[in-house]
Amino acid sequence: MILAIETSCDDTCAAVVSRAGDVLSNVISSQGVHDRYGGVVPEIASRHHLELTGAVVDDALRQAGTTLPQLDAVAVTQGPGLVGALLVGIATGKALAAAHGLPLIPVDHLYGHVAASFLNPGPIEPPFLILIASGGHTLLAHVTEHGPHWRVLGSTLDDAAGEAFDKGARLLGLGYPGGPALQKLASEGDPHAYRFPVAAQVQGLDFSFSGLKTALLYKLRELGEEESEARRADLAASYQRAIVETLARRVARARRETGIERLALGGGVAANGPLRERMRELVPDLHVPPRELCTDNAAMIASAARFLRPQPFPSYLQLDAFSSGERPL
Ligand code: KG4
Ligand code: ZN
């Protein structure tokens, strides 16, 4: 059994997963405090992690019916993410591992999102394509094996897909996080009412969403307050369609280029209904883990740790967090 801790953003998470990939517990404590600021405040996130990790780890162990001495290893997210937030998880992981004579396994957060698809029930077998879309990242990758040697095909050049939902929602006067609210409003509108850009100008398999947000802003100005208000559902539906199509075009192209006919989704945006429908049209062999395994969670980190080499004491005491890019060697 592996205990994992994930504190890369604003969710304090701990989970226990068996070697075979059964989720024995998956505790997520969401810090609702950030909503009032319209986004995550890094310093506040770190402080809350500090207060919550102990209780969250205790809950995860209790729900799994286990104790620290019964574990094989402790795993922790090393990055990418908010450095202060990551450091709380890393320090906790080091302390628990050292106190109980366990090895520590540092995990890349994005590989964690990939490894969510390896969990029971119904794990997906490589090779497959995966689209990870959340508030922090948008990534299209080709997974050829269970280990961490997956190939990134494309990523976002500016805003993440979830950020595009959140920023569009804010322009339309909806609350944070905006994705679910925008989807709800869009369900009453016509997705073909307005034409928003679908990032056709971006070469290759990368994504860009910042032009889309600006296009919505200009459209709202052009329509004026009264008309914008009357057409909010149509605007939301058309905007959502542009995000979904941007993602769909890249997935269609990746499918053509790799010949891979299986797709997994991950990240909070995977909850979006129209996105799932569109992806299923493109790639019928579609795999979407349950919502609690798509959004940030520690079960996916424990899952990834199963395929990584544990680090012994005292070498893991040197581990440091990284905020972006690749995991340092
Ligand atoms: O993975 P996640 O919970 O947290 C991280 O960002 O790491 O993803 C949150 C993002 C937010 O941007 C939120 O607006 C978006 O996922 N989201 C959605 C939906 N539910 C959540 N976007 C579109 N449609 C949804 N139903
Ligand atoms: Zn994430």
* Ligand 1 surroundings by CB, under 6 angstroms: 9, 134-136, 162, 165-166, 177-180, 183, 267-269, 271-272, 295-296
Q: Establish if 328 belongs to a structural domain.
A: no
Which residues pair with residue 297 across a beta bridge? Answer: none
Which residue of 269, 293, 296, 297 sits with most ligand 1 atoms within 8 Å of its CB, as the best mutation to test the pocket? 269
Q: Establish if 257 belongs to a structural domain.
A: yes
Which residue of 28, 165, 176 sits with most ligand 1 atoms within 8 Å of its CB, as the best mutation to test the pocket? 165
Residues 128 and 270 in one domain: yes
Q: Establish if 199 belongs to a structural domain.
A: yes
- What's the gap in Å between 185 CA and the centre of ligand 1? 16
Range of the domain at 306: 2-115+296-318
Question: What is the overall mean pLDDT for the chain?
Answer: 93
Structure tokens at 227: 């008309």
Ligand with the closest atom to the CA of 269 = 1
Reduce the DSSP state of residue 61 to 3 states and report it.
helix
In whole angstroms, what is the distance from residue 305 CA to residue 73 CA?
9
Structure tokens at 66: 């286990």
Reduce the DSSP state of residue 172 to 3 states and report it.
coil
Which residue of 77, 134, 297 sits with most ligand 1 atoms within 8 Å of its CB, as the best mutation to test the pocket? 134
- What's the gap in Å between 229 CA and the centre of ligand 2? 33
CB 283 within 8 A of CB 262: yes
Residues 31 and 88 in one domain: yes
Residues 138 and 270 in one domain: yes
Tally of domains within the chain: 2
Residues 74 and 133 in one domain: no
- What's the gap in Å between 132 CA and the centre of ligand 2? 8
Residues 48 and 134 in one domain: no
Q: Establish if 324 belongs to a structural domain.
A: no
Phi/psi at 7 (nearest 5 deg)?
A: -140, 40
User: What pTM value is reported for the model?
Assistant: 0.92
pLDDT on residue 327: 56
Residues 147 and 11 in one domain: no
Reduce the DSSP state of residue 41 to 3 states and report it.
coil
Q: Establish if 211 belongs to a structural domain.
A: yes
pLDDT in tens, 55-102: 999 999 999 999 999 999 999 999 999 999 999 999 999 999 999 999
Residues 89 and 220 in one domain: no
pLDDT on residue 329: 47
User: Burial level of 121, CB count in 10 A (0-12/13-18/19+)?
Assistant: exposed
In whole angstroms, what is the distance from residue 214 CA to residue 217 CA?
5
pLDDT on residue 326: 59
Phi/psi at 256 (nearest 5 deg)?
A: -60, -45
Residues 71 and 183 in one domain: no
Residues of the chain with pLDDT under 50: 329
Q: What does each C-alpha distance from 244 to 1, 200, 209, 278 come to in angstroms? A: 38, 13, 11, 8
pLDDT on residue 136: 86
CB 215 within 8 A of CB 196: yes
pLDDT on residue 31: 73
Residues 197 and 140 in one domain: yes
Residues 189 and 219 in one domain: yes
Residues 135 and 270 in one domain: yes
Residues 128 and 46 in one domain: no
Q: Establish if 325 belongs to a structural domain.
A: no
Q: Establish if 228 belongs to a structural domain.
A: yes
pLDDT on residue 175: 82
In whole angstroms, what is the distance from residue 164 CA to residue 209 CA?
6
Q: What angle do CA 144, 139, 248 make, to 5 degrees?
A: 95
Q: What is the CATH number of the domain that holds 44?
A: 3.30.420.40
In whole angstroms, what is the distance from residue 94 CA to residue 105 CA?
10
Residues with Cβ < 8 Å from 51, sequence gap 6 or more?
Answer: none
Residue minimizing CA distance to atom 13 of ligand 1: 179
- What's the gap in Å between 51 CA and the centre of ligand 2? 21
